[in-house]
Copies of this chain bind each other. A is one copy, B any other.
Amino acid sequence: MKSKYVSIYEQLASKIESKEIMPGDYLPSEKELMSIYDASRDTIRKSLVMLKQAGYIQKTKGKGSIVIDIHQFEFPISGITSFKEISQSISGDVSTEVVCFEIMNADKNLSGKLNINLGDKIYYIERVRKVDGEAIILDIDVINAGIVPGLTKEIAKDSIYDYIENELGLKISFAKKEISVQTINNLDKMFIDLRGFDMMAVVESYTYLDDASLFQYTISRHRPDRFKFREFARRDKNV
């Protein structure tokens, strides 16, 4: 059962996405929204906080909530988004090839990354992402098999996140990410259509479930000409 304030957030966000409410316009006041959606001020304000954090609106005391123009021309790449989810907004033919799928015992390096004991079961997966037939991304996933059991090569070819959330019913909650630029390595040379590039944009992620357990360490290596990372940030974190 979805909560009321999330539902109101989604309705307002979709009105903004569809340009029914344009950038520069003010939303109805909180009082008006209360009667429009038959909700208390508390509920409306929670929806507005979500809109604010997501970069849809800017609130000003005494004035109102204005729609800002961040969302109109591009989709966000930041946050926690699976490749399958991202690929839906990419124009072009997208495919995934699973070039390595192993269940193994964690060595010293990998057990450290996942904060588990030496020898614990993990999945080690390498996937190449192709856009319009060109191999441009190499994803290396290390997944704690004690938390995420039953993975198969077929699932890895489709969407691991989909399996975790919809088959296992687990909730992916938060991630720490680190972006850097690194010189190419042997895996890049083997699997990526490098086109002469000698560096790769690298996103390392540690991803956690809602019980704060770390289940995944990912290295995502992108050919630099096809890499773009977008972020919406707020200096003032108040709610």
Contacts and interface: CB of A to CB of B under 8 A. Distances in A.
B179 A228 contact: yes
A149 interface: no
Contacts of A227: 180-181
Nearest to A82: B235
Nearest to A58: B212
A80 B238 CA distance: 14
A137 to B, nearest CB: 13
Given A199-B199, A212-B68, A236 B179 contact: no
Contact of A236 (B66, B78, B173, B181): B173
Contacts of A70: 176
A233 interface: yes
B208 A58 contact: yes
B173 A235 contact: yes
A66 B54 CA distance: 24
A6 B208 contact: no
A50 interface: yes
Nearest to A225: B181
Contacts of A224: 180-182, 199
Nearest to A23: B212
Interface of A: 3, 5-6, 46, 49-50, 53-55, 58, 60, 66, 68, 70, 78-80, 171-182, 198-199, 201, 208, 210-212, 224-225, 227-239
6 contacts: A46-B239, A78-B233, A80-B233, A174-B232, A179-B229, A199-B224
